Structure 1
Amino acid sequence: MKALFFSMLLMLAAACACGTAWAQGNYEIQVYASETVAPRTTMVELHSNYTATGQSDYVDGVAPTNHAVHETVEITQGITSWSELGFYLFTSERSGAGTEWVGDHIRPRVRAPEQWHWPVGVSISMEMGYQRPRFSPDTWTWEIRPIVDRNKGRMYWSINPAMERSWHGPAVREGVEFTPGVKVGWDFTRKVNAGVEYYGAYGDLRNIAAVHEQQQQIFLVSDLNVSPKWEINFGVGMGPTAATDRWIIKGILGRRFDWSHQRE
């Protein structure tokens, strides 16, 4: 199994080298955990993000984000105890424009199996897909996202040192962009975890952008652990740099569906 796992990691890394997109585009704002969805289980999530203060005008043909509601449907199917496959449907709704389809992505992911007994959780995902030019000048993009996390007592932390590359659009010539995400949370009760999430987009790894051109987002967030079947996350984020939307409100509502009992 180890040989197969590492072979898949090498294929994911090689694929990333073959083909930048902006950080998460206010569609799917999430720091990933290393755990994958169990086999014969489907996870359905709705990501709802409202840009309270953002870009007000069209820039190079890209639609404004100010007062836009971005809804993303994410469906993830567990394949094995260490792999899964996810699918995204992105939409945007703004006054005067109505609800519009933005694009679709797919995302395979593998992780280090629990029987390896590593001191931290480790997984790696690869996300690729299309966005309409109205919402992103880079229409075809690829992301590779290593994930390292750990629960230690009441504390949970996760680091996602993601990298993105454009396949089609003006950022093709810019190479690989560094887009990290970090989360630190604390269990205040058995059901309530609260903490901080950070997202960045630093530009080309060979030529890091000036600070005012970087995207930086800092969110105060809370996770409600009401049931193993449900995922509930919400938060408020601020963008301190000129290239980032100023205020964003986000929420994630997810539900796991276990098909193993129905089969039995």
Structure 2
Amino acid sequence: MAILFLAPQRARAIDEIQVYNAEIAEPGQWTVEQHLNYVGNGLQQPDHPGGLISNHSFNGTPEFAYGVTPWWELGFYAPFALEQHGPFFAQGVKLRTLFVTPDAAKRDFFYGANFEFSYNSAVFSPTRFGVELRPIVGVRNADFEFIVNPIVDFAAGHYGFTNFAPAVRLAHKFEKDFDLDLEYYSDFGQIGHFAPLKDQQHTLFAVTDFKAGDIDVNFGVGHGFTSGADRLVFKSFSATLFRCPRVPRARVPRARIRKERIPIPRRAG
């Protein structure tokens, strides 16, 4: 479901900017999402030698998820980026497994946890392998929804780190398929050794959620408040559902046993 503005040790690719709400595909159902983000005014220097420059970069990822059970979803995505005057970059691959309370969309209190495993290209990260732990805790009523994702990012290897990068969403529902939200994304840096405030990343998005036919759409504009964050970011993602057709089982008719009456001969009287 890493989505955040990344810490100084990490690359600036912001392929997925989203607060997870514990809603998953139904068993046997596929969801397809497309994340697209553009950094209108960002950092001018990469986070590591040979890394991506976020300013005027275009980032995104196609994401595919499958509902296994009412409480378990599996996902796969392949992030990418395009620099202002540079070539197209593939970020690698990411796999995730998401566990949630069943029927989260119908609950006043819901929770879950997402585990994401990534294999990164050198342009996006100084380490090849990474893991994201994303707890999900949320409450809602008829008008409002409040969700917290206290994310912890792990990276293995010589340049490894463990960063705290929480995300928060406050949404107001105006109609069944129309919300206005505030979303906050941050990265405090290494746990136990947080970066100075100016080097941390704190970004606030104004967001709208709506439905266009059968497609769910999320669009937002974000402003970074610290020198360690991109100043202006546009984010969007769209999602649609696909239910796998079930192959009908052939019905085998039961063998019928024909009962015949055997006439009983009469006695000659």
Give, in whole Å, the separation in 1 of the partners of 2:65 and 2:169. Answer: 21
Query: 1:180: which partner in 2?
Result: 166
**TM-score w.r.t. structure 2 length?**
0.82
Alignment partner of 1:55 is 2:40: no
How far 1:70 sits from its partner (Å)?
0.5
Tell me the number of residue pairs that the alignment of Structure 1 and Structure 2 aligns: 239
Q: How much does 1:118 deviate?
A: 7.1
Equivalent position of 1:12 in the other structure: none
Whether contact under 8 Å (2:10, 2:48) holds in the other structure is no
CA RMSD of aligned residues (A): 2.2
Deviations 1:30-88 (A, max 9, x none): 00011221111001100000000112234432121111111211111111111010111
Identity of aligned residues (%): 28
Residue 233 of structure 2 corresponds to which residue in structure 1?
248
Q: 1:136 Cα deviation (Å)? A: 1.6
Structure with higher helix content:
1
* Map of 2:216 onto structure 1: 231
What's the offset of the Cα at 1:138? 2.8
1:10-29 Cα offsets, whole Å, 9 max, x none, are xxxxxxxxxx9749841100
**Residue 202 (str. 1) matches residue 188 (str. 2):** yes
Structure 1 residue runs of 5 or longer lacking an equivalent are 1-19
Among 201, 207, 211, the alignment partner of 1:221 is: 207
Alignment partner of 2:101 out of 112, 134, 139: 112
1:212 match: secondary structure: helix
- Tell me the amino acid that sits aligned with residue 221 of structure 1: V
2:73 to 70, 75, 84: 84
Q: Which runs of 5+ in 2 are unaligned?
A: 1-7, 249-269
Q: Runs of 4+ in structure 1 displaced over 3 angstroms?
A: 20-25
After superposing the two structures, state which structure 1 stretch, 58-67 or 117-126, moved more. 117-126
Task: Pick the structure with greater CA Rg.
Answer: 2
Determine which of 122, 140, 150 is the counterpart of 1:151: 140
The partner residue of 2:25 within 17, 21, 37 is 37
**Deviation string for 1:115-147 (max 9, x for gaps)?**
9x9751111010011121112223311111110
Normalised by the length of structure 1, the TM-score is 0.84
SS at match of 1:168: coil
CA shift at 1:231, angstroms?
1.9
The answer as to whether partners of 2:12 and 2:52 remain within 8 angstroms in 1 is no
Structure 2 residue 14 is matched with structure 1 residue 26: yes
Distance 1:126 1:153, change over 3 A: same
